[in-house]
Amino acid sequence: MDKRIKISFLILLIIGFGVVSTIVILQAQGYDFDWKKNEVLKTGGVYVKTAQSGADVFIDDKYISKTDGFSREILAQKMLPGKHSIKVQKEGYFTWEKSLLVEEQMVAKAQNIILFPNNISFESKFSDITSVYNITDQNFLTFKETGEVFVINSKTQEEQLILSSAKAKELGKIKELYFSPDQKKALVKNTLSNYFLLELSGTKSKITVLKDIDKTAESIIWDGDNNLNFISKSKLYSLNIQTSKKELLKEEPVSAFAKHGDGLYTMEDGILNRMNTFTKGIEILTKDTFPFKKDSTYQLKIIEGRIFLVEDDKTYYFYEGKAKLFIKVLDSTTKISYRTLSDKVIFITDYGVWLMLLKDYESPFFKKTDSFILLSNFSQKITDIVWVADDYFAAIIDGKIRINEIDNRDKINSFELTGDGYSKIWFDNNSKTLIALKDSQLLVSTRLIP
């Protein structure tokens, strides 16, 4: 071989070794070469955690690994910055897919993935129901077509007669019903604005007419298991249902009120006040007068420690403590409903699903506490909603049940269950099943979550 060729070959080997060594060193230090951009970049990673074991994880259509039975998590490292498609699938389950942004020296997290069975079905457990009220996860107060009233258990399928049809007639047509904190009593308001106490204790169940609450009463709430607070003719009262003792709490005109801990919150002349129920000290919480509308009704609601002023059940104003004022956050043409968890609240308006964060979130929202996020806008009205896990909810939309995630990065994973005609929905945290009202039947689903 010619000497010059040997030298050239040796030089090429040295250069090649140098390039390979550089690449290895750079990769070891968290760098890689982006052939599309023709530049060296710091890499990132993707972390995936699933509720189920045995799920196949794909990144950019490349199989990565299967989640094991212990940790159920996968960390893919040395990934170039940019969008990467993630797919998690398992036979017999709906597939989870999302495109996540990987940044330099950062790990994109998808850590609350639940794969739901693709064969979820419902079975009728109770029939001939005209109305139903949820007491606990598995217990419901039901009014039957026969006129009888039962407490039923969705798990054991036991029915306990609470009122005969003759006795239930005393209640009249029910407009509102609220359970006491211990779930042993219910306050009932009928369409004639008469109030009753319904005691839910089996054979000892009885109805008591609450004569001390007149027809002008509004904003009635339980204050413990034996006291009711309410407004009547702009004055705030407390009623002990055991002794029938009625006490005037506020002589000043009160437009709305709420109780939380040792604080009694009242709207007086458009100003929010807080009175310590022990020391009787009063703190003024707003600096400006709220513009009450003459023909509207108002309520103060304290949701997971946050204060809301609610107008006609359709508009929510959030109390901003630092600014000392109410800010409109939600508006609807129909009644706004909500469901709570310890760290977030979900609200439904006409067509929208909103999420309120009760703590700072890094992933997936990167938002501060008390942020409001519009998760979804549907083309049909939403009639009911319920949490099914920390990061998933079920909603009834146009009579059909749809399960959705709250991770709004890229597309939201969502799927519809078979069947329609549903009007109400609940979730049993013990059995991990949905309970739904359809026509006059109460149905229970197969298990949703491992």
- Cβ neighbour number for residue 233 with a 10 Å cutoff: 10
Under DSSP, the state recorded for 54 is S
| pLDDT number for residue 206 | 87
CATH of the domain at 83: 2.60.40.10
Q: What is the pLDDT of residues 282-327, one digit of tens each?
A: 999 999 999 999 899 999 999 999 999 999 999 999 999 999 999 9
Does the structure show a pLDDT above 60 at 117? yes
Residues 6+ apart with CB under 8 A from 36: none
pLDDT for residue 438:
96
Q: What is the model's pLDDT at position 364?
A: 84
The pLDDT tens digits of the residues spanning 233-284 come to 999 999 999 999 999 999 899 999 999 999 999 999 999 999 999 999 999 9
Look at residue 261 and tell me if it is in a domain.
no
On whether residue 206 sits in a domain, the answer given is no
21 confidence band (pLDDT: 50, 70, 90): very low
Model confidence pLDDT, tens digit, residues 378-390: 999 999 999 999 9
pLDDT tens, position by position, 66-96: 998 788 999 999 899 999 999 999 999 999 9
271-301 burial, b at 16+ Cβ within 10 Å, e below that, comes to: ebbbbeeeeeeeeebbeeebeeeeeeebbbb
Q: pLDDT tens-digit profile of 390-424?
A: 999 999 999 999 999 999 999 899 999 999 999 99
Cis ω on the peptide bond leading into residue 364 (within 30° of 0)?
yes
* The predicted structure's pLDDT at residue 318: 98
Domain that holds residue 341: 334-419
Tens digit of each residue's pLDDT (9 = 90 or more) over 336-357: 999 999 999 999 999 999 999 9
Do 20 and 63 have their domain in common?
no
The single residue listed with the structure tokens 């969008």 is 83
**Residue 23 neighbours by CB distance under 10 Å:** 14
Average pLDDT for 195-216: 87
Per-residue pLDDT, 192: 94
Q: Which amino acid is at 42?
A: K
User: CB-based contacts of 35: which residues, under 8 Å, 6+ apart?
Assistant: none
Please indicate, yes or no, if residue 316 is contained in any of the structural domains.
Answer: no
Q: Tell me, yes or no, whether 408 and 348 share the same domain.
A: yes
**Which single residue is written with the structure tokens 């003459």?**
294
Supply the DSSP string of 98-165, one letter for each residue: EEEEE-TT-EEEEEEE-PPBTT--EEEEE-SEEEEEE-SSSEEEEEETTS-EEEEETTT--EEEEE-H
Model confidence at 20, in pLDDT bands (50, 70, 90)?
very low
351 and 388 share a domain?
yes
pLDDT digits (tens, 9 = 90+) for 131-144: 999 998 899 999 99
**Domain-embedded: residue 48:** yes
Based on the structure, what is the number of domains in the chain?
3
Integer Cα distance of 27 and 362 in angstroms: 27
- Rounded Cα gap, residues 423 and 36, in angstroms: 53
Q: Beta partners for 303?
A: 306
The answer as to whether 22 is a domain residue is yes
Share of the chain above pLDDT 70, in %: 90
Residue 368 lies in a domain: yes
Asked, for residue 202, whether it belongs to a domain, the answer is: no
My answer on whether 345 and 407 are in the same domain is: yes
How far is residue 391's CA from residue 51's CA, in Å, rounded to a whole number? 12
**Lookup result for tokens 């969705």:** 154
pLDDT at 362 over 90: no
pLDDT at 328 over 60: yes
Residues 66 and 25 in one domain: no
Q: What is the pLDDT of residue 3?
A: 62
Residue 342 shares a structural domain with residue 385: yes
312 within domain boundaries? no
pTM (predicted TM-score): 0.86
Whether 19 shows a pLDDT value over 80: the answer reads no
Instruction: Name the average pLDDT for the chain.
Output: 90
Per-residue CA distances from 361 to 99, 149, 364 (Å): 19, 45, 7
Q: What is the pLDDT of residue 251?
A: 87
Sign of the Cα pseudo-torsion (399, 429, 152, 185, in order): negative
Q: Which two tokens stand for residue 386?
A: 């319920």
What pLDDT, in 10s, does the model give residues 156-184?
999 999 999 999 999 999 999 999 999 99
Residue at a domain's end among 113, 132, 157: 113
3-class DSSP assignment, residue 270: coil
